[in-house]
Amino acid sequence: PSHLALFPMPSVLDPRAHLLEQDVVLVGGGSVANEVAVWRTHGLDVAFREAWERGIVLGGVSAGAICWFEAGTTDSFGKDLRPFTAGLGLLPGSYCPHYDSEERRRPTMHRLVGDGSIPPGWAADDRVAMHFVDDELAEVVTDRTDGASAFRIDRDSSGTVTETPVETRVLAS
């Protein structure tokens, strides 16, 4: 295991090479706007795309999941959830984490997709993992037994938003 820190300066001599030596890259939560801006400053947006194209597994939680998409819902700019539209775009569409645990997430996702602020996309309850192969959803899993799931959030030509649950496999404990 390794850790790549960028503050106060990069923890490795060549961050790009370091990323490309990994089998798996896991990004934690925080401010998606700040993490992506810092990555772009260091050229890591290009390195992440290269890693993805090489088949290195990329994953994350919360902001660390939003970053792989084109857009998402974020509290990076303050208490109110706002659209984030500067994602890395490795996965098409938008993403909303904490769908069941933060009461403002669901209505905000619906509003932002409905008004076109962010593209249609995906949402996931806490402790639900979405596995994409290339840019297609392959499977959704959770360790929760209370019906936790992921959802496809779409918009029709009139702006009406639909939410479709995705089949979710419960992992054995």
Please list the pLDDT of the chain residue by residue as tens digits (173 residues): 899 999 999 999 999 999 999 999 999 999 999 999 999 999 999 999 999 999 999 999 999 999 999 999 999 999 999 999 999 999 999 999 999 999 999 999 999 999 999 999 999 999 999 999 999 999 999 999 999 999 999 999 998 999 999 999 999 87
**Token pair 């659209």: residue:** 83
pLDDT at position 150, please? Answer: 99
Q: Which residues are catalytic?
A: 62, 98
pLDDT at position 115, please? Answer: 97
Domains of the chain: 15-170 (3.40.50.880)
Four-CA torsion 98, 103, 105, 108, nearest 10 degrees: 180
pTM of structure: 0.96
pLDDT at position 172, please? Answer: 84
**Token pair 């639900």: residue:** 128
* Three-state DSSP class for residue 103: coil
Nearest alpha carbon to residue 64 among 92, 98, 93: 98
